[in-house]
Amino acid sequence: MLEFQMKLFVVILFLALVAGGCTTKSKAKADARAAYLAGQNAVLSRQQMQQRTSIVVIGSVQNPEVEWVEGLTLAQAIATANYTGFREPKEIILTRRGEDGRINPKDLLHGADVPLEPGDTITIHE
């Protein structure tokens, strides 16, 4: 009886391991390496964005990258990017160091301009 219970226990343990998705050492190492590389890529991407000096303009524009120069403003960057949208923009989002700021395009047209910093991203929503 004890031998039967031991065999039954071994079978149940085996089935539990198979059903639970037993991971081999090599698979675990590969998963850990992939996670490490993904983290490294994210850090490098973030560093590249921080080192970028040009202004990126997302939306209906002919020139999505505008070289930053001292004194560059939001209106100048949009004009340099050459906005080609069929409608007036509904919203402009300025992203600086990961923080988003919303700008009403009508305020911009009425002279409320914003100075830009190297690496800023402008997103124009129609």
The 10s digit of each residue's pLDDT in 49-101 is 556 789 999 999 999 999 999 999 999 999 999 999 888 899 999 999 889 99
CA 27, CA 65: separation in Å to the nearest integer?
A: 42
* CATH class of the domain at 55-125: alpha beta
**DSSP three-state, residue 32:** helix
The 10s digit of each residue's pLDDT in 89-117 is 999 999 998 899 999 999 988 888 999 99
What is the mean predicted confidence (pLDDT) over 25-46? 70
What is the mean predicted confidence (pLDDT) over 13-21? 59
